[in-house]
Amino acid sequence: MPGLSEAASEDKLLILAPQKTLMPNPAMEELVTLLRRAIIAEVAQTVELRDELQRLTLAIAQYAARTGYALAAEDDEERLVSAINDSIQAQFALGEEQDGLIGSLMTSAMYGALFHQPFAVQLGQWNLVDWPLALQPVLAASYYDRAEEEAIKQSFDEKAEELCLDKTDAPQAWPSWSRLAYRTESSLKTLMANRCTGSKSVDCPHRP
């Protein structure tokens, strides 16, 4: 397992794939979950996230967010993530500097949205641009975008009903088409004018 994550961390294409796309493929999903498991297993043993694994960790975190955190995790992984989240909360309580939180936040973001964690409110003390540039896409998807959506929803009555839902039942944004089929830009007004002047069979509204 460590060898798998080591090799993957040096594969630029393998890092770009989960970072930029969503691939509904069982083999790809299995690979991502295996890589994620290898990373958190090493973190559990060494109590740190090596620099060499950080790009891969960020790519997996972005992919997990794009899937709506639908990737399955084993029970031991869930326990490790819970311990990491508890550690982050303790770090905030002790006034830990931002740099000391980054590795744990990256690891946690591979498994769930940071917005739903008990320490989420403390993340709001920083703006997105205050974080390292490479970390910003993950934090945007995992916390800041969700916080902005939540702020907008606060003004709607439906929000009161949502507060009664379990966290896992609360609605969230799901993947959508990122690219639509290309169409030449056109004007409906011009099209209708041409049809009205070019064909007498078309009933066109008369101007007063």
Q: Are 76 and 38 in contact (CB under 8 A)?
A: no
User: Does 151 have pLDDT greater than 90?
Assistant: no
Q: Which of 12-21, 32-41, 154-163 is predicted most confidently?
A: 32-41
Could you tell me if residue 20 is inside a domain? yes
Could you tell me if residue 124 is inside a domain? yes
Residue range 77-109, pLDDT digits in tens: 999 999 999 999 999 999 999 999 999 999 999
Could you tell me if residue 80 is inside a domain? yes
Q: Are 119 and 89 in contact (CB under 8 A)?
A: yes
Beta strands in 22-86 (DSSP E): none
pTM, entire model: 0.72
Could you tell me if residue 198 is inside a domain? no
Could you tell me if residue 115 is inside a domain? yes
**Mean pLDDT value across residues 130-146:** 96
Residue range 54-81, pLDDT digits in tens: 999 999 999 999 999 999 999 999 999 9
Could you tell me if residue 29 is inside a domain? yes
Residue range 18-37, pLDDT digits in tens: 888 888 888 888 999 999 99
Contacts of 62 (CB under 8 A, 6+ apart): 18, 19, 137, 138, 141
Domain that holds residue 31: 2-168
Could you tell me if residue 190 is inside a domain? no
The total domain count for the chain is 1
Ramachandran category for residue 47: left, alpha or beta (phi over 0 → left; psi -120 to 50 → alpha): left
**Mean pLDDT value across residues 120-143:** 95
Q: How far is CA 15 from the centre of its chain?
A: 15
Q: What percent of the chain has pLDDT over 90?
A: 55
Could you tell me if residue 189 is inside a domain? no
